[in-house]
Amino acid sequence: MAGLGPVLRAIADPTRRQILDLLAEHDLPVSRIADRFSISRWAIMKHLRVLRLANLILVRRRGQQRIQCLNAKPLKSVEAWSSRFASLADDSRQRLKPALASDLSK
């Protein structure tokens, strides 16, 4: 299983996030994924490779086609890591409220 770093790097790219969005709806062959983008098929293959290395997609064969399937399990580690900061953001907002209120009353 890939660590948090490869998963974060993979989802940092907007094209790869769009690919994951597509695969969240349907398992698709490479050709159908490539048809949805204005970049070359070669570029799509490179994005798919990054997603595979991060274990975010799995590939199964159907005849000569390679069907790309979403594997959302690694995203749970991102969710667990980022959720630690959600409470910090709430705490920060709570600490700012008095300061903002005093600035507004001036």
Residues in the chain, overall count: 106
Q: What is the DSSP string of 17-62?
A: HHHHHHHHH--EEHHHHHHTSSS-HHHHHHHHHHHHHTTSEEEEEE
Residue 23 above 70 pLDDT? Answer: yes
Give yes or no for residue 100 having a pLDDT over 70: no
Range name among 2-16, 52-66, 75-89 with the lowest pLDDT average:
75-89
Question: What is the pLDDT at residue 91?
Answer: 64
Q: What are phi and psi of 72, to 5 degrees?
A: -80, -5
What residues are paired with 9 via a beta bridge?
none
Domains of the chain: 4-105 (1.10.10.10)
Kindly report the pTM of this predicted structure. 0.78
Q: Mean pLDDT lowest for which of 9-13, 19-23, 69-73, 96-100?
A: 96-100
| Cβ count within 10 A of residue 51 | 26
25-45 pLDDT, tens per residue? Answer: 999 999 999 999 999 999 999
Q: Per the structure block, which two tokens stand in for 50?
A: 């990054």
**pLDDT for residue 106 is more than 80:** no
